[in-house]
């Protein structure tokens, strides 16, 4: 991921230095396990615990070895004496790599979970704030019936809660290690070694493996990130739509001095939400690659390895970035409730068409007749720019079924919001 979209904490998780430190943790945990089994003498185990890894040494060794783990092992053993012979005892590259990668992913998911928690807090505050703020609901991009902006945000809050559950599930699924040797038979390291290593690192041992931890776990992880990103794009797309000049119901924060366009000084663009959308698409693309990585030849090939070097850090960095970015968008979002009501009224009451239809049916009118009458008056309102409410009041068929008082009651916006409190309570927003 480019520096522009990389936040420090997540960047550190996926740094080369952190990767090598995780590798060292795995190697030393294996040494401790062998010591427990009686293979490594206590005096040598004491010295092994002081092992270090040198980043620069690895980079230099790579020029010759062209094998990252071999270069790593050279650096580690170079920091030790004869006791260094026990490093990597009975292990294969994937034992170290996959187990350490699980540690990195768990770290990354904990950061993402924290960012989701912050987004939930922001959504909750704004949803409660605008629980009763009327906004036109739109289906197919066309005015439908009124809802509230708070209900719109409540949907996002509820969806984000589900995404947090998905992140938790992905964390449980990926928090596995393996120390089972070249093809998963434990021929060079018994299950007891694996159990000790995983327990000491806070992981579960993979119940069965070949040379690698099975990539369905990693696919679940990346696709979960993609689902979270897809939700963020959904929310951001709505903000972009509502910020359109013709609608103008919300607006991203636009601090003094910010430029919206290099050529048009008047512009205030929803650039943050657009950025969320763009990076969300990147993450979804990485999910496709993760799914392709599930199918490996035999007990393992390395077709997944090169792509994982890109998709795992990039997906985490991008999601971490847009989660934080969108939380700020929500916190600072300008909501124009007056404009919302103006837009509701801009269609001259046609939104009440279903309300009139239902009232006619409830008062004995055949549905097909009632629908035809209401539809005709609604089309007149659209075509002639007449107020639908006035057309209904003057319609003889309607007047024959409903009193003037009953008709006026149909045009009360409170009808559409009378269950808002109940919905908020049901979803847990109180």
Which segments of 175-270 does DSSP mark as H helices, in order?
191-201, 216-243
Give dist(CA 55, CA 153) in Å, integer.
Answer: 47
Q: Which of 140, 262, 263, 404 is catalytic?
A: 140
Query: Which residues in 167-191 are b (16+ Cβ under 10 Å) and which e?
Result: beebbebbbbbbbbbbebebeebee
Q: Does residue 253 have an active-site annotation?
A: no
Which residue carries 């290099």 as its tokens?
262
- Nearest-angstrom CA–CA distance, 144 and 138: 5
Q: Give the Cα separation of 164 and 118 in Å (integer).
A: 11
Rounded Cα distance between 412 and 416, Å, is 8
Distance CA 255, CA 259 (A): 9
Residues 6+ apart with CB under 8 A from 207: none
Considering 50, 253, 261, 372, which one is annotated as catalytic? Answer: 261
Q: Residue 346, Cβ neighbours under 10 Å: how many?
A: 9
CB atoms within 10 A of CB 213: 23
Estimate the share of the chain in helix, then strand, then coil, as percent rounded to the nearest 5. Answer: 65, 5, 30
User: In which residue are the tokens 């939104």 written?
Assistant: 351
Q: Which two tokens stand for residue 213?
A: 């931890």
Between the two ends of the chain, the Cα-to-Cα distance in Å is: 39
How many CB atoms are closer than 10 A to CB 147? 18
The yes-or-no answer on residue 35 being catalytic is no
Which residues are annotated as catalytic? Answer: 140, 261
């Amino acid at each position: 991921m480019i520096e522009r979209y990389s936040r420090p904490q997540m960047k550190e998780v996926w740094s080369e230095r952190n990767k090598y430190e995780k590798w060292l943790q795995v190697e030393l945990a294996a040494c401790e396990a062998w010591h427990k089994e009686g293979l490594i003498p206590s005096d040598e185990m004491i010295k092994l615990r002081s092992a270090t890894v040198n980043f620069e040494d690895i980079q230099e060794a790579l020029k010759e070895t062209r094998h990252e783990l071999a270069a790593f092992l050279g650096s580690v053993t170079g920091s030790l004496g004869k006791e260094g012979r026990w490093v990597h005892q009975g292990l294969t590259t994937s034992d170290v790599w996959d187990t350490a990668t699980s540690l990195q992913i768990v770290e990354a998911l904990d950061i993402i979970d924290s960012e989701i928690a912050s987004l939930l807090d922001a959504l909750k505050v704004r949803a409660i704030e605008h629980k009763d703020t009327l906004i036109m609901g739109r289906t197919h991009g066309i005015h439908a019936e009124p809802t509230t902006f708070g209900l719109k945000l409540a949907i996002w809050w509820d969806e984000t809660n589900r995404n947090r559950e998905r992140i938790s599930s992905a964390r449980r699924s990926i928090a596995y290690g393996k120390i089972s040797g070249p093809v998963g038979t434990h021929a060079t390291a018994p299950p007891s070694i694996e159990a000790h290593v995983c327990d000491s690192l806070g992981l579960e041992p993979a119940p069965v493996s070949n040379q690698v931890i099975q990539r369905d776990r990693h696919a679940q992880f990346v696709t979960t990130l993609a689902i979270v990103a897809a939700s963020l794009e959904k929310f951001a797309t709505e903000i972009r739509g509502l910020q359109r000049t013709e609608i103008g119901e919300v607006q991203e924060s636009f601090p003094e001095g910010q430029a919206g366009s290099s050529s048009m000084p008047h512009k205030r663009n929803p650039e943050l939400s657009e950025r969320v959308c763009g990076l969300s698409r990147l993450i979804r693309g990485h999910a496709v690659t993760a799914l392709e990585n599930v199918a490996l030849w035999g007990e393992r090939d390395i077709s997944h390895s090169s792509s994982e070097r890109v998709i795992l850090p990039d997906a985490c960095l991008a999601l971490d970035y847009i989660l934080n970015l969108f939380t700020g968008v929500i916190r600072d979002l300008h909501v124009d409730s007056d404009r919302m009501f103006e837009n509701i009224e801009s269609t001259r009451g046609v939104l009440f068409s279903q309300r009139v239809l239902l009232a006619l049916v409830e008062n004995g009118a055949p549905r097909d007749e009632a629908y035809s009458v209401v539809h005709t008056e609604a089309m007149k309102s659209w075509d002639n720019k007449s107020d639908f409410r006035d057309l209904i009041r003057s319609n003889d068929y309607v007047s024959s079924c409903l009193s003037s008082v009953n008709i006026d009651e149909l045009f009360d916006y409170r009808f559409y919001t009378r269950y808002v409190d109940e919905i908020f309570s049901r979803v847990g927003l109180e």
